[in-house]
Structure 1
Amino acid sequence: MVFNRKTMTAALSLVPALAAAHFQLSYTEEALIERPGDVPVKLIFWHPFENGHVMDMGEPLEFYAIHRGEKIDLKDTLAKTTFNGADNAAVAYDASVPVKRSGDYVLVTVPAPYYEGSEDIYIQQITKAYLNRNTLPTDWTEPQGLKTEILPLVKPYNVMAGSTFTGRVLSDGQPVAGAEIEIEYMAAEPDMTTGSPKEATVGPMPGGAVVAISDQDGEFTFGIPRAGYWGFAALGVGPDTEHEGKELSQDAVIWIRAYDVK
Structure 2
Amino acid sequence: MIFHGNLMTAALALTLVPGLASAHFQLSYTEDTMIDRPGDVPVKLIFWHPFENGHVMDMGEPLEFYAIHRGEKIDLKDTLTQTSFTGSSNEAVAWDGNVPVKRAGDYVLVTVPAPYYEQSEDIYIQQITKAYLNRNTLPTDWTEPQGLKTEIVPMVKPYNVIAGSTFTGRVMSNGEPVAGAEIEIEYMAAEPDMATSSPKEATAGPMPGGAVVAISDANGYFTFGVPKAGYWGFAALGVGPDTEHEGKELSQDAVIWIRAYDVE
TM bin (shorter chain): over 0.9
User: Which 4+ runs in 1 deviate beyond 6 A?
Assistant: none
Please give the per-residue CA displacement for 1:195-218, whole angstroms capped at 9, x wherever unaligned. Answer: 000000010000000000000010
Tell me what 1:73 maps to. 75
Q: Which runs of 5+ in 1 are unaligned?
A: none
1:234 maps onto 2:236 in alignment:
yes
Pick one of 54, 57, 80 that aligns with 1:55.
Answer: 57
Tell me what 2:95 maps to. 93
Give RMSD over aligned pairs. Answer: 0.7
- TM value normalised by structure 2: 0.98
Tell me what 2:185 maps to. 183
For residues 98 and 222 of structure 1, what CA distance do their matches in structure 2 show?
32
Alpha-carbon deviation of 1:174?
Answer: 0.3
For residues 139 and 168 of structure 2, what CA distance do their matches in structure 1 show?
18
Pick one of 14, 17, 28 that aligns with 1:15.
Answer: 17
Q: What code does the residue aligned with 1:85 have?
A: G
Tell me what 2:106 maps to. 104
Q: Percent identity?
A: 85
Alpha-carbon deviation of 1:119?
Answer: 0.1
Q: How do residues 51-200 of structure 1 correspond to structure 2 at under 5 angstroms?
A: 51-200=53-202
SS in 1 for 2:56: coil
Q: What code does the residue aligned with 2:125 have?
A: I
Alpha-carbon deviation of 1:183?
Answer: 0.1
Q: How do residues 200-239 of structure 1 correspond to structure 2 at under 5 angstroms?
A: 200-239=202-241
For residues 20 and 118 of structure 1, what CA distance do their matches in structure 2 show?
13
Q: What code does the residue aligned with 1:22 have?
A: H
Please give the per-residue CA displacement for 1:17-74, whole angstroms capped at 9, x wherever unaligned. Answer: 3321000000000000000000000000000000000000000000000000000000
Tell me what 1:33 maps to. 35
Alpha-carbon deviation of 1:5?
Answer: 1.7
For residues 215 and 238 of structure 1, what CA distance do their matches in structure 2 show?
17
SS in 1 for 2:20: coil
SS in 2 for 1:254: strand
